[in-house]
Structures are given as C-alpha cells and as structure tokens.
Chain A
Amino acid sequence: MSDQHTQTQISSAEVHEVFADLHTRYGVRGLEEKRADQAFVRTDRDEAVAVLTHLRDRHGYTHLAFLTAVDQIEEGRFELLYMLHNYELRHDLGVIVEIPREGDGCSMDTIHRMWPAAATYQRELREMFGIDFPGSPRLHEDFALEGWHDLPPMRKEFDTREYSERTYYARPGRTKTDTRQHMKDTIYPSEAETW
C-alpha cells in the first residue's frame, strides 16, 4: 500500500514534456520512469552541465539532492548520478552521465558554481573514485581519508578485505564459517532439503 499513494502533482505527460525539451536541445536519452515522482535520464558528458543548468533554471529542479558515482567496471566506465529535485512539482530527476574509468578521460566538469555544496561531493568523488573535477575548490585536500596512498577505495578493483588483512592486525581466533553451510548443517537441518 502506502508507498504507491504518493499525491504527486506531476503527471507522466509533464515528465515527458521535460524530457522532450531536453532531448531536442541536448540529446538527452534513456528516460526511465521509476515512480510517478521519480525518473532517470542519461546524457553525454559534454552536455551534462548545460543540461543541469537548464533543468535548474528553466524547469525548477533547484535542489541537488546528491551527486555520486557507480563503478561499472565491466564496461570500463563510471556512471555519475546527479539527483535533482523539483519542489514545485515534487519530482526527483536523476541525470546519469557516463565517463571512462581510466586515464585522462576520468574527469568531469565542476558544478560548484551552480551549487556551492557540490564542491563537497566532488571532493569525495575525487578521493573515493579518483574522478577529477578541474577547478573545484579544495579538490585535492583530504576529505574522509588522511594520507591515503593506495587505490581510491571505492573503485571496484580495490579489495578492502585484502587491504585490511595486510595492514591491520587481525586478532587470532576469529573463525569464519560459510553461512549457508552452517545454516544448512546446524541451524535448520530439517528444512535443508527444501532449499
């Protein structure tokens, strides 16, 4: 129940209108309507800041809820996600931008002039994923980590367990059982056949 009750004021037609406008102007594609009050679109890296500016100034998506990245290591790219919110229409719009994972291409234009708070997100992304945002203030200062010399930790190829075992001293005596096997053998042996 309830979660579908949303009294949204935006209709699907309006979302499509916004999308059509963005599509004609900037070639925005891939509209995914998740709920009545939430949708995602995809755009190119070169157009992204223009799209965000247009959304903020023309369509009322004034609130940057967050900016984050998803590591799609298999396809060799990061997906940057700008989650915008429109308080008038009560609508969330996620703008997804794909950038390459490696090399010089792993950078993105800064948006801290549009939202000063975005500088913090960009600092975190630089530290955790190694994404460069040229011009963003205090970009190369430590954010959450201090004196970090390894790979950016949120990248998929960084193995946190291996790093922990290599760096910190594990207390002897910690045993690890395979959860599935343990439940099958010890806790619910009678139900094991039904799995």
Chain B
Amino acid sequence: MVNTDTRSDRPARRGTPIPGTSSARGVPNLATRSQEHINDNPLMPPIVDGKAVFDLDSGKYLKLWQGPQHPGITGNMSLELVVCGDEIVECKTHVGYLHRGFEKLMERRSYIQCFPIVCRIAVPEPDFNEYLFAATVEEIQGIEVPERAQWIRTLNLEMARLASFFMWMGGMAGAFGLGTQGQWTVTMRDYILDRFEELTGGRIYHMYMIPGGVRGDFPEGFTDRLRETIDTCEKTLQDVERTLFNNAVFKKRAKGLGVIHPDIVDQFGIVGPNARAAGFARDVRKDHPYLVYDQLDFEVVTHTDSDAYARAWVRLQEMYQSMDLIRQILDRMPAEGPFFTKLPNVLHWNVKPGHIYKKAECTRGEYGYYLNSDGSDKPRRIYVRGPSYTHAVSLMEHLSIGCNIADTAGLMVSLHTYPPEVER
C-alpha cells in the first residue's frame, strides 16, 4: 500500500488542492478530510481511515480499468486499478457481470427443476455443482446411492478436474504470452470432453449426477477409449511440462509473482492449490473423504514457494495425480451393479426439513453447498460456496498491490478464479 516512487519529478501534491477540482470530479478532497490522518512524508500518499488515498488530480496516479472487455482477464469481471508508473498501488475488483440470481431462481423451482440449472454456476467445471447438489439432497433425505454410481461419480469429477486444469494450463501460458501450450491443452481438453459426451451426452453441461445416482451407465467400450485418452493427455502434458516449466519467460515472470504469505491463508480463507502451494496439506478429498476417495491412493501435493510458479507446479502435479486416479478408478470399480436408486416421484417430492453443508475439492479448492429445506417441494435456501469468492475479490485486491500491470493477468490466472461462482 505504501508508494515510495521517488523517480517522479513531481512530489505528491498534498494539502494545497485547487479549490473545487477534486470534489467536483467525485474524488474526495483530501485537504478538508481528516487532516490529522495525513502522514508527514510528502512522498507518501495521505492515509485516511487506515487506507492510502491516491489523489488522481496530482498527475502521479492513473486510474485504469482492466476488463470486463479485456483479453487478459479470467472471464467476465473487471479490475479497477490505480497505477503509479506501471506499478499497481490500488486494486478494486468488480464482479456481478454474470450474476443470474441462481439462489433466488432455485427458491422458486422444485428440487428436480433445480438440478439442470445448478451446473451452470461454474461453467468450466460444472460437475462439482451437480455432485454437491445431489449429495446435499441425498444426505438430507437419507437416500443411499449404489456403489457403482459412487465410482462413476468419482470418475466424472476427476475427469472434470482434468479438463478444467487443462483449460487453466493454457490460460496460464497465454497470460505470459506463450500461445503454443494453450493450443495443445485446449485440444486435450476437447478429447476429454469427447469422453464426457459419450458418457453423458453433453460437452460442457453434463447434467449427469442426479439425486439418487447417475443418469446412465458406461457406453460400450468406454473404459478402453478413456484409458487411451488419458494416455494421450499424459503424453501431451509431459510436453507442456518440458516446454512451459523450463521456459525462461515463464520462469522469469512467474517466479516471485503474487506470493501468498502463509500467515494470510486463514485470514483470507484461501483453499485448494493456492493454499497447498503455500505449504498447507489441505485437501477435502483427504480430510473429509467423500464418494470413494478413501479407497484410492494419492498424496496431497504441496509446495512452499507460494508464488505463481509454485501454484502452477502444484496444479501440474495434481493433473498427473488426477490421471492416476482415473486409472485407479477404472481398475478398481465394480464391473456390474445398479447405477441409480429408485426415487419417489420427483414431481411430488417433498424433501425433509433440515439443513446441511457438503463440500468437495474442486480444482480451486473447497466447493460447498449449503441446503436449507423447510419440508416443502422447493428449497428454502441454497448457498453455493465457491473458492473464487475470496480468491478473486479480496485476495486479488490484496496481492495485486505492487504488482506490474503486465503481470496482472498472470497473477489473476495463477489464482485460478472463475467469476460465475463469485456472483452466481
């Protein structure tokens, strides 16, 4: 927050504003506000209510909007930056461009009508919404899901994780100007989406994990084709690892960028790979095993550097881990069995009163659904806890201070934020 830019010829003007100029443009007139809080160093911006205030009229600072119409932003959101030279001194995130009011819409839909809209909450990775919605309803209603359905769900979630990470990997490379890896990884993601299409009928939105199980069993020859796809993906991922993680540009720009200090991990509610790259071995799959994760072998990947490079490295390892998990699932899952338990007539389905919170580890961390039912056929309240909620808003505002404008895109992508789950 402290600006020590002494290169500027003009010291920050302070205390002698031209009457009327600042306030007329909506900028607080600092001279008349809280005189006692203005600090004494003429090179520092004045501090009001514990926050530095930048006088845009001084000519030293510039307000710059990054987004929503900007290629270097993750999805449809925007950053309101105040820059001094090319260094960011203040950042405000603006979200809500994708707000559709899901939580309100779900309050006026029956449970089965909620099911097709929940997956739209997080676009690149909709399956966690489906699973968590189904799981909260099942838990509150006491529905037992057949074993094979649990394995299929786990497989589905791991495939979604892999697809989402592939998309992210391309974005990470693209944010630092490396286009080739993006071409490869988006194509790999397409191959996984092909398998999704076989399994569920949809490329992006699958609507597959319905309360009570899954909508269908494997098509013929699916496992073999999935293994083949995973082999292809692994080969390409090794290429990506060689070309991206040893790339001088990527190393130079990502190392030391956006360091999350371990002390702020709990303050800001940082979860997932962002926390794991800071040395915290926290993974909902391990800590609160859901589905069949307690029967699978994997270790939580951690790193200690906690910068953009470390986060990318953690995600790369988790991609390998995810491929390994998919192979384990295909090996160990029961070959036969029901995939769906019979539900009561969903059109007359009243869910028992009560409330419950379920969470799962998505690519960004702890993804959770809180369901509050009052015993009617519609939920009273569903709250969706997306990890991007803190990563994209308060953490981004915190980390971007002192960052270079050109690195903002890289920083933002390295936090792996999806705006739709922020505003829902």
Residues of A within 8 A of B (CB): 1-3, 5-8, 34, 37-38, 40, 62-66, 68, 70-71, 81, 83, 87, 90, 92, 94, 115-117, 119-121, 138, 142-146, 153-154, 156, 158, 160-161, 179-180, 183, 195
* A65–B385 alpha-carbon span in the complex (Å): 8
> Which residues of B approach A to under 8 Å, CB–CB?
92, 95-96, 99, 101, 103-105, 107-108, 135, 139, 144, 147, 150, 266-269, 271, 280, 282, 287-295, 345, 347-348, 355-357, 359, 366, 368, 370, 372, 380-381, 383, 385, 389-390, 393-395, 398, 423
Given the known interface contacts A70-B372, A71-B381, A144-B423, the answer about A117 and B294 at a Cβ–Cβ threshold of 8 Å is: no
Complex contact A120–B357 (CB within 8 A): no
Nearest to A9 among chain B residues (CB) is B287
A to B CB contacts below 8 Å, 23 in the list = A1-B147, A3-B135, A3-B290, A5-B294, A6-B289, A34-B357, A37-B288, A63-B266, A64-B269, A65-B385, A66-B370, A66-B389, A116-B267, A116-B268, A117-B267, A117-B390, A120-B393, A143-B95, A146-B96, A153-B101, A156-B107, A158-B104, A160-B105
Residue on B nearest A195 in the bound complex, by CB: B345
Which chain B residue shows the least CB distance to A56?
B266
A116's contact among B271, B356, B394, by CB below 8 Å, is which? B394
B269 CB contact (under 8 Å) in A3, A115, A143, A180: A115
A-B pairs with CB below 8 Å: how many? 116
Known interface pairs A71-B381, A146-B96. Does A62 touch B266 (Cβ–Cβ under 8 Å)?
yes
**What residue of chain B has the Cβ atom nearest to residue A141's Cβ?**
B92
Chain B interface mostly: mixed
CB atoms of B347 and A117 under 8 A apart = no
B385's partner among A2, A66, A145, A160 (CB-CB below 8 A) is A66
Give A65 to B359 CA distance when docked, in angstroms: 10
In the complex the two chains form, what is the Cα distance from A64 to B389 in whole Å? Answer: 12
Which residue of chain B has the shortest Cβ distance to A144 in the bound complex? B96
Complex Cα gap A37–B139 (Å):
14
| Alpha-carbon distance between A161 and B96 when the two chains are bound, in angstroms | 20
Give the residue among A65, A94, A117 with the most B Cβ atoms within 10 A. A117
A161 touches B357 (CB 8 A): no
Besides A2-B295, A70-B372, A81-B383, 11 new A-B residue pairs in contact (Cβ under 8 A), listed by A number: A1-B147, A2-B291, A6-B289, A34-B356, A62-B266, A63-B271, A66-B383, A116-B267, A117-B393, A138-B92, A143-B96
B96: nearest residue on chain A (CB-CB)? A144
Pair B96/A142 contact, Cβ less than 8 Å: yes
Partner of B370, one of A1, A68, A138, A153: A68
- Closest Cβ of chain B to A99, distance in Å, is 15
CB pair B96 A65 closer than 8 Å:
no
Which residues of chain A come closer than 8 Å to B92, judged between CB atoms?
A: 138
Which of A1, A66, A90, A119 touches B287 (beta carbons < 8 Å)?
Answer: A90
Residues in B with CB closer than 8 Å to A63 are: 266, 269, 271
Q: How near does chain B come to A49, taking the closest CB pair, in angstroms?
A: 16
B96 and A119: CB pair below 8 A?
Answer: no
CB of A124, distance to nearest CB on chain B (Å): 9
CB B3 to nearest CB in A, in angstroms, measures 20
Q: Which residue of chain B has its CB nearest to the CB of A160? A: B104
- Contact (Cβ within 8 A) A68 B383: yes
3 tightest A-B CB contacts, nearest first: A144-B96, A144-B99, A62-B266
Q: In the complex the two chains form, is B348's CB within 8 Å of A180's CB?
A: yes
Q: Taking the nearest CB of chain B, how far is it from the CB of A170, in angstroms?
A: 16
- State the CA gap A121–B150 with chains docked (Å): 33
Within the complex, which residue of B104, B294, B381 is in contact with A2, where a contact is CB–CB below 8 Å? B294
Alpha-carbon distance between A63 and B269 when the two chains are bound, in angstroms? 6
Chain B residues within 8 Å of A180, by CB? 347-348
Residues of A within 8 A of B290 (CB): 2-3
Residues of B with C-beta under 8 A to A116: 267-268, 394, 398
